Structure 1
Amino acid sequence: MRFLFLVLFGLGGCAVLVALGLWQLDRMAWKRGVIADIEARLEAAPTALPEAPDPEADRLRAVTVEGAVGEGRLRVFGTWRGGGAGHRVVVPLETPAEAGGRRILVDLGVSPEGTEPIPARLLVTGNLDWPAESGGAIPDPDGDLWFGRDVPAMAAALGTEPVMVVARTVSPAGIPVRPAPVGTAGIPDNHLGYAVQWFGLALVWAGMTAFLGWRMTRPTA
């Protein structure tokens, strides 16, 4: 009876651990599909700004916009891996009448203070995004410092459409803001390592079960 219980306990434990490893492999395949889809959107040939961008259908759509930098800017404080602390600079961009006469938000990228001068006209290639970040305005003398990007709230503050282009390249070159484009570097893909751990634990479990079974068959003194 004890030997039967050991076999069932060993097989059950191995089955659970192997199932967890297989689940991690499934998660890995799903995650890599998501990353591939995002990268395909990011690397697609840029198009003109859609007339009515949809936050779901047009998320990460590559676009090119050109226009005059409007009055006002918002600074979003944050920290970046390898880049220390700084501010994202978000400005209103007004496209010419022949391009629809739009007024939208453009996230130009990161600078230490976020107060450096910006040229009056810009050509921006980037991706549409509606970041889901917590935060908001905080009291300061200028009222321009934020802790997170909130597209509807920022649009209301600067009088623009609730549309944001996160820059990948900006012309003219040399403006004192470093683009911080949308990417996949922040999406963790550790599932293969987790799967190896679960399969390793299954082997250890099986080995311990076999060892205990061997000990049970040994004659006692």
Structure 2
Amino acid sequence: MKRLPFWPTLLVLAAVAVMVGLGIWQLQRAQWKEDLLARYAAAEKLPPTAFPAVPVPDENLVFRRASGNCLEVVKWDARAGRNRKGEGGWRHIASCRTGGAEGPGMAVDYGWSRTSDAPKAPGLSGPVTGVIDFDRDRVFILVSETAAPGLEPSEKPSPAEVPNNHRAYAVQWFLFALVALVIYGIAVWRRKG
């Protein structure tokens, strides 16, 4: 019986070990994500809070009802989004001044429309209530429960929309490891034959 080639075997076993390690890591990430989603679901049931005056990395605020005060809309930004009927279009995000001459500021999703054109809502200011979400840059945003004039309400943020694919990724890594071993086994068997 021939011995297995040392270096190729070592390389394949090292690759398999890395893939299994990545699979285990994804299982740990799945548990972390499940805990995070449970906190998000609990936040929906908490009493309303004030929108944070300064940016804080507290993910316990995400999906919680909140209120803030938009003293003045400084600028508008349009981002892809959906309305409450699930139709695709544009979310209209206002950068609001909340105090002093400049800020600290607050981002408010004032609603949805089919176009990216800035809404015609002059003088839009005052108290805003809604749900805290984060945008694509992981910055807090208050999704207003009522839309600005000329807009429809944006889709309400929900923890159900946050994906948890980590278990599927773990299965993929374990399958990659298995496939690597099978392919290597076939290659060694053919070499001996």
Aligning the two structures, in what range does the TM-score lie when normalised by the shorter sequence? 0.5 to 0.7
Q: How far did residue 124 of structure 1 move? A: 5.4
**Aligned CA-pair RMSD:** 4.6
Instruction: Tell me what 2:101 maps to.
Output: none
**Residues 63 and 157 in structure 2, CA contact (< 8 A), matched pair in contact too:** no
Instruction: Tell me what 1:161 maps to.
Output: none
Distance between the aligned counterparts of 1:66 and 1:25, measured in 2? 38
Q: Which residue among 163, 169, 176 is the counterpart of 1:194?
A: 169
Instruction: Tell me what 1:3 maps to.
Output: 4
Q: Alignment partner of 1:3: what SS?
A: coil
Distance between the aligned counterparts of 1:201 and 1:183, measured in 2? 33
Query: Pairwise mapping of residues 47-126 of structure 1 onto structure 2 (< 5 A)?
Result: 47-49=48-50, 55-57=56-58, 59-60=61-62, 62-63=64-65, 65=67, 74-80=75-81, 83-88=87-92, 90=94, 106-111=108-113, 112=115, 113-115=117-119, 125-126=129-130
Distance between the aligned counterparts of 1:195 and 1:10, measured in 2? 19
Instruction: Tell me what 1:178 maps to.
Output: 153
Instruction: Tell me what 1:26 maps to.
Output: 28
Query: Aligned in 2, Cα 1:89/1:11: closer, same or farther, shift over 3 Å?
Result: closer
Per the normalisation by structure 1, the TM-score is 0.54
Structure 1 letter corresponding to 2:142: V
Q: Alignment partner of 2:174: what SS?
A: helix
Q: How far did residue 116 of structure 1 move? A: 5.5
Q: Alignment partner of 2:146: what SS?
A: strand
**Residues 66 and 130 in structure 2, CA contact (< 8 A), matched pair in contact too:** yes
Cα deviation digits, residues 80-109 of structure 1 (max 9, x gap): 266444341538699xxxxxxxx9775332
Q: How far did residue 11 of structure 1 move? A: 3.2
Q: Alignment partner of 2:4: what SS?
A: helix
Structure 2 letter corresponding to 1:75: W
Cα deviation digits, residues 9-55 of structure 1 (max 9, x gap): 443333222222222222222233333323322x1233353796773
Per the normalisation by structure 2, the TM-score is 0.60
Structure 2 letter corresponding to 1:108: Y
**Residues 122 and 170 in structure 1, CA contact (< 8 A), matched pair in contact too:** no
Query: Aligned in 2, Cα 1:213/1:83: closer, same or farther, shift over 3 Å?
Result: same
Cα deviation digits, residues 182-221 of structure 1 (max 9, x gap): 4446644332332222211211222223223333444xxx
**Tell me, which stretches of 5 or more residues in structure 2 are unaligned?**
99-104
Q: How far did residue 66 of structure 1 move? A: 9.1
User: What is the count of residue pairs matched by the alignment?
Assistant: 179
Structure 2 letter corresponding to 1:170: T
**Tell me, which stretches of 5 or more residues in structure 1 are unaligned?**
95-102, 135-148, 152-163
Q: Alignment partner of 2:111: what SS?
A: strand
Q: Alignment partner of 1:115: what SS?
A: coil
Query: Aligned in 2, Cα 1:185/1:75: closer, same or farther, shift over 3 Å?
Result: farther
Instruction: Tell me what 1:13 maps to.
Output: 15
**Residues 87 and 114 in structure 1, CA contact (< 8 A), matched pair in contact too:** no
**Residues 60 and 129 in structure 1, CA contact (< 8 A), matched pair in contact too:** yes
**Residues 66 and 121 in structure 1, CA contact (< 8 A), matched pair in contact too:** no
